[in-house]
Amino acid sequence: MQLSARISRISLGVACLATAFAGALVSTSSSADATTASTGDVPTFREFEASTYVDVDGAYVVNGDEALATKAELKKFYDRMVSTPDTRNDGLIVNTVGGVDDKWSASQALNLTYCVSTRFGTRHDDIVAAMAAGAGLWEGATSKVNFVYVPAQDAKCTTRNNSILFSVEPVSTTQYIARSFFPSTPKRSRNVLVDDSIWTSGIWEPGDILGHELGHVLGFRHEHTRPEAGTCFEDNNWRPLTPYDAASIMHYPQCNGSSADLEFQASDAAGVRALYGA
Ligand SMILES: [Zn+2]
């Protein structure tokens, strides 16, 4: 219904590398005010830091919905971004840190425990269901990945709870619908934050939105950073697992995607099997 208007609003909010580093890619509002560089020049670190959204937990949010815990990590991220890009022509790509795949160990991948904060209130059970749906997309593709919901930890569901690998918590922001983390993210920033707009995101179903975020949790990058997308480039710190797929659940529709609805694809299934096994 209001999807086309919404998509164009999102498109306005997309800030890709060519114009600025910080962008609210999964967002219901324009991030133009959150970015300062408009000339196409590479911003200084100071400018980059000033334009980067800082979350409730003090984490820096980059690439739309990915958290960095500290200023030092933001600096490393910036340094990687401004380093001379190499070209890779080879639907799923895994994040790399120092050239090494950013993934969970085989045993940890089978026990990705999480809680869902009771602070979601009347929406708590809906989030539990959407998380199960999102996790099920990846779990259905491989027997080597298993997300484990631990409801006993819901009442104290924060990054400080060491009984779970990560927490799912509510947030109130206009910067994104939800944001996530990578396997290399330190425990203190390992949470999936979800804004209420997840319930009013048109044909982006809550389970698919959280499926996208859980893709990051597994180590997958935005598919649209690949050169084939022709837009929304982020950086080259990734390794291809499958051929490019413009319809991947990790590809934002508004970044020249071929699918508007953020559905899980066969290429996503092939990618998770390529990284973790079948
Ligand atoms: Zn994302």
Tens-of-pLDDT digits for all 278 residues of the chain?
A: 333 333 333 333 333 222 222 233 343 333 322 222 233 355 667 777 888 888 888 889 988 898 898 888 888 887 776 654 433 334 799 999 999 999 999 999 999 999 999 999 999 999 999 999 999 999 999 999 999 999 999 999 999 999 999 999 999 999 999 999 999 999 999 999 999 999 999 999 999 999 999 999 999 999 999 999 999 999 999 999 999 999 999 999 999 999 999 999 999 999 999 999 99
Please identify which residue in the block is written with the tokens 């027997």.
Answer: 143
Distance of CA 110 from the midpoint of ligand 1 (Å): 22
Cβ atoms 161, 184 nearer than 8 A: no
The Å distance, Cα 216 to ligand 1 centre, comes to: 7
Look at the chain and count its residues.
278
What is residue 1's predicted lDDT score, i.e. its pLDDT? 31
Contacts with 66 (C-beta within 8 Å, 6 or more apart), sequence order: 179, 180, 181, 182, 216
Per-residue pLDDT at 42: 55
Please give the structure tokens belonging to residue 128.
Answer: 């539990």
Residue 36: which residues within 8 A CB-CB, separation 6 or more?
Answer: 20, 43, 47, 50, 51
The whole-model pTM stands at: 0.76
96-to-84, 196, 263, 274 alpha-carbon distances in Å: 16, 31, 24, 15
Distance 212 CA to ligand 1 centre (A): 6
Cα of 248 to ligand 1 centre, how many Å? 11
Residues 138 and 112: their CA atoms lie apart, in Å, by 12
Whether the CB-CB separation of 259 and 246 falls below 8 Å is answered with yes
pLDDT value of residue 129: 98
Cα 118 to Cα 57: distance, rounded to the nearest angstrom = 18
Q: How far is ligand 1, taken at its centre, from the CA of residue 186, in Å?
A: 18
CA 220 to centroid of ligand 1, rounded, Å: 9
Among 69, 234, 231, 235, smallest CA distance to 246 is for: 231
**What is the C-alpha separation between 261 and 9, in angstroms, rounded?**
16
